């Protein structure tokens, strides 16, 4: 453990469960890097993703965005391509975009697709899938309304998906945000997770949750407060 990390750890009461407001204020005290660190939320959910009915995934447009510039590639043609460009898509294409991806060129962070282009996208599913770039209707990235999808992604949409062990991680802002904006983004994210609670999930849904920066120790949340956000 580095000296810097120990000094940051001393600023946290590791025996305490912090409210969202307290955690949002405390996280700003943990800034130590020269860059604008990402505020990250981590959760462990009481679900078994091996069962299809307990897979938790979705998307939420955060009220104050993520503070990150997101590059969007869109598979669309005709009028839909024009709509995507007008909405601010960075790359719009069809066969040319497939060829680019097959060559290993990834100058984008998110992929959106119109439904009539999913046949094309399927050709590169094995490339996009492992990188977490495959468009999906559940996250709003396969849609006939490509313009809204681009606007949402650019405006701070966060996608989430539980891993094999029930964990979810997401960046929900930057340490340069004021504490109130961080707090409101956290509440919106937790609300989205709670709305996705599977009917078959029993007992406490959010088993653990914490807030941290890219280079900081974690602050534990008050789980009772998180459970009450509907």
pLDDT tens for residues 29-83?
Answer: 999 999 999 999 999 999 999 998 999 999 999 999 999 999 999 999 999 999 9
Q: Please, are residues 168 and 42 in contact by the beta-carbon 8 Å criterion?
A: yes
Coil, helix or strand for 170?
strand
Q: How far apart are CA 182 and CA 199, in angstroms?
A: 29
**Which pair of structure tokens corresponds to residue 179?**
């504490």
Question: What's the confidence (pLDDT) of residue 201?
Answer: 87
The Cα-based distances of 180 to 23, 136, 140, 190 in angstroms read: 11, 32, 27, 15
Question: Of 88 and 202, which is predicted with more confidence?
Answer: 88
Architecture of domain 72-154: 3-Layer(aba) Sandwich (3.40)
pLDDT at 1 over 80: no
Q: Where are the alpha helices (DSSP H) in the chain?
A: 3-9, 20-28, 79-87, 95-102, 118-122, 125-128, 146-154, 179-195, 223-227
Report pLDDT digits (tens) over 78-135: 999 999 999 999 999 999 999 999 999 999 999 999 999 999 999 999 999 999 899 9
Nearest Cα to Cα of residue 74 among 87, 61, 65: 87
Output the pLDDT for position 19.
98
**What superfamily would CATH give domain 12-66+157-227?**
Ribosomal protein L1/L10, rRNA-binding domain (3.30.190.20)
Q: Is the pLDDT of residue 184 over 90?
A: yes
Strand partners, 91: 73
Listed ranges 32-36, 153-157, 181-185; the one with the highest mean pLDDT: 181-185
pLDDT-based confidence at residue 2 (cuts at 50, 70, 90): confident
Residue 138 has, within 13 A of its CA and on its CB side, a CA count of 10
Q: What is the overall mean pLDDT for the chain?
A: 95
User: What average pLDDT does this structure show over 166-178?
Assistant: 96
Q: What is the pLDDT of residue 213?
A: 97
Model confidence, pTM: 0.85
The domain locations on the chain are 12-66+157-227, 72-154
């Amino acid at each position: 453990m580095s000296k810097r990390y120990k000094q940051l750890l001393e600023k946290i009461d590791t025996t305490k469960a912090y409210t969202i407001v307290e955690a949002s204020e405390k996280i700003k005290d943990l800034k130590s890097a020269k860059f604008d660190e990402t505020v990250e939320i981590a959760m462990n959910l009481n679900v078994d993703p091996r069962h299809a009915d307990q897979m938790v995934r979705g998307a939420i447009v955060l009220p104050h965005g993520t503070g990150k510039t997101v590059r969007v590639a869109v598979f669309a043609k005709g009028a839909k391509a024009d709509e995507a460009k007008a909405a601010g898509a960075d790359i719009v294409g069809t066969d040319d975009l497939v060829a680019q991806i097959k060559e290993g060129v990834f100058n984008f962070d998110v992929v959106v697709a119109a439904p009539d282009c999913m046949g094309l996208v399927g050709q590169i599913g094995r490339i996009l899938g492992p990188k977490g770039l495959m468009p999906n209707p559940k996250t709003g990235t396969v849609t006939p309304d490509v313009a809204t999808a681009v606007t949402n992604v650019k405006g701070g949409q966060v996608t989430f998906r539980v891993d094999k062990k029930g964990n979810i991680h997401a960046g929900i802002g930057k340490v340069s945000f004021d504490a109130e904006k961080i707090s409101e983004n956290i509440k919106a994210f937790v609300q989205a997770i709670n709305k996705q609670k599977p009917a078959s999930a029993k007992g406490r849904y959010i088993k653990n949750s914490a807030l941290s920066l890219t280079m900081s120790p974690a602050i534990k949340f008050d789980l009772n407060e998180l459970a009450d956000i509907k």
